Every structure is written in C-alpha cells, then in structure tokens.
Amino acid sequence: MIRLTINGVEEEVAAATIDQLLAARGIDPGARFLAVAVNGAVVRRTDWPAAALNTDDVIEIVRPLQGG
C-alpha cells in the first residue's frame, strides 16, 4: 500500500502504476477522454502501464465536463 493524494484526497492505495490505480477505482484504463498528471506533470496514456507511482505522489485524474 502506498499513500497518494488523488484529486485532492489522501488515500492508501494498493497500486504500483497508473493503470493499476485506475482499475482499483473502477475506471477502465482504456476509456477515452481521460488524462492523468503526477506531481504536476501530465503522464501520457502510453506510459500508464509502466509509470511507477511512489508514496506521497500527487495525482490528478480529469476529464472534460460541461463548460463555457
């Protein structure tokens, strides 16, 4: 288990990569229109299976929503 801040909330997560993190949250890693940043840097989708997560990492998982 590692401690991550995900979308502003601190959590203990059993995930070592972004792919695993998404799956643990019930999100299909193949879903379109998703983007992820780790510690302020966007991680490209192609790197999701390999990019290692470390404790205290700050994660943003976003998608487009209504807006003007």
- By CB under 8 A, name the binding residues for other proteins: 7-8, 27, 32-37, 40, 42, 44-45, 60-68
Per-residue CA distances from 11 to 31, 37, 42, 58, 64 (Å): 23, 16, 20, 10, 24
Identify the sign of the CA torsion 34, 28, 56, 16.
negative
Which residues does residue 23 pair with via DSSP β-bridges, in sequence order? none
Q: State which residue, 50 or 62, has the beta carbon closest to other proteins.
A: 62
Q: State which residue, 1 or 33, has the beta carbon closest to other proteins.
A: 33
* Cβ count near 26 (within 10 Å): 6
Q: State which residue, 24 or 35, has the beta carbon closest to other proteins.
A: 35
- The CB-of-44 to other proteins minimum distance in angstroms stands at 7
- The CB-of-53 to other proteins minimum distance in angstroms stands at 17
